[in-house]
Amino acid sequence: MKAVILAAGIGSRIRPLTDDIHKSLLKIGDSTILYRMLTNIKDASITDVIIITGYLEEMVKTFVTENFPSLHFTFIPNEKYLETNTGYSLMLTKDAVGESDFVKFDADVVFEQAVLEKLLSHEGSTALCIDTHIHLEAEEVKVNLDEHGKVVKVGKTLNPHTAQGESIGIEKIGRDAGRLLFAELERLMQDPRNYNEYYDDSYTTLVNEGIPFYAVDITGLKWVEVDTHEDYKKAVEIFR
């Protein structure tokens, strides 16, 4: 099992806080978003960490190597981070992931250890974390489930009135699913018009290809995706 952290973005919606600091290094209480994330990863006995860098990449690399010397880091630069999105960034991790299972993290998600524990302990090899008690709007990555709790569709464009919850940005991807996922991302990114696609849309492709994709309900556990100033205030309050 490896960890993949997507940390290329500039965090434009939370400026000016991110004018001279990477969003993942914003302080939450006495720690930072990335420190909390890597601590949870380390406590889950995952030692191989792949980080996609872009904006302020040297700041990120210096922080993680100084604070987590026991972890093995692979840094992959997204040199097109200003013109691409998460689908392109995730595609770049293909060779580093290899034939391993991996857990993918958006670098701006603050979460308690129990979230990762619940995901890793789920029997399904491919699964995403979902919060069902949340007000869904256009911005959230929404999830549709079948009657057995398996994922049917994932994406921002789903109808918020019929979706069962929000995907929080943490997923476990098995090796078979990974092969299909990277093949789909590489196919999409051959066309620059798809550079701004999110990885979430490719998860629906996995489902359509017959990959069992489970939802792990982490409702009630503490987590915040820090996209806006309001999110940041919420994270500071929850994790104080």
List the chain domain ranges: 2-238
pLDDT at 65: 96
Task: Describe the chain by its helix, strand, coil percentages, rounded to 5.
Answer: 35, 25, 40
Q: Is the pLDDT of residue 134 over 90?
A: no
pTM above 0.95, yes or no: no
- Average pLDDT of the segment spanning 53-79: 96
pLDDT at 156: 84
pLDDT band at residue 149 under the 50/70/90 scheme: confident
In percent, the amount of the chain with pLDDT more than 70 equals: 99
CATH topology of domain 2-238: Spore Coat Polysaccharide Biosynthesis Protein SpsA; Chain A (3.90.550)
Tally of CB atoms within 10 A around 239 = 18
Mean pLDDT of the chain: 92
Residue found by looking up tokens 């701006």 in the block: 108
- Tens of pLDDT, residue by residue over 3-22, are 999 999 988 888 998 999 99
- Average pLDDT of the segment spanning 124-147: 85
Give the C-alpha separation, 240 to 208, whole Å: 42
In percent, the amount of the chain with pLDDT more than 90 equals: 72
- Tens of pLDDT, residue by residue over 85-94, are 999 999 999 9
Which residues are CB-neighbours of 172 under 8 A, at least 6 positions away? Answer: 101, 102, 103, 119, 120, 122, 124, 125, 126, 127, 128
